[in-house]
Amino acid sequence: MYFIIVGAGPEGSSLAELALNDGHKVAVIEASEERARKIVEKYDVEVFHGDIAIGEILEEAQADKADVLVATTGDDSVNLMTMFLGKDRGIKTLISRVNQSCHQGLFEKLGVQVLVNPEVIIAQHLYGMVQEE
């Protein structure tokens, strides 16, 4: 499969690593020059440095060939724009991090699979590990 990941922060980088380890092709779109440089140094991915809402960066990343588009940024407006653009380009699987639960409905109206409040999910998992001891 071909993954396009928007956001090269901790979640996006970890997802890229998992997908690569499973033999998938990965492209990353990142607005921060520093994060873009770091991920290209660490992984065998194609990196597109720029803002998802400006220009034709999805076309540069060959969105027409993508199976999955994942938005992992900490900004719901960027993630929502990413999902809208992905849907507009016919990408089958759209997945996004949602940082504020009040925005969840907007993403779901587009048919996006959402992960709401990932920090809470991690905290619950960690707390569960403590409970098991």
What pLDDT score was predicted for residue 84? 96
DSSP classification of residue 72 = -
Q: Residues 31-66: pLDDT tens digits? A: 999 999 999 999 999 999 999 988 799 999 999 999
pTM metric for this prediction: 0.91
Phi, psi of 117 (to 5 degrees): 50, 65
pLDDT tens-digit map of 86-100: 999 999 999 999 999
Neighbours of 38 (CB within 10 A): 15
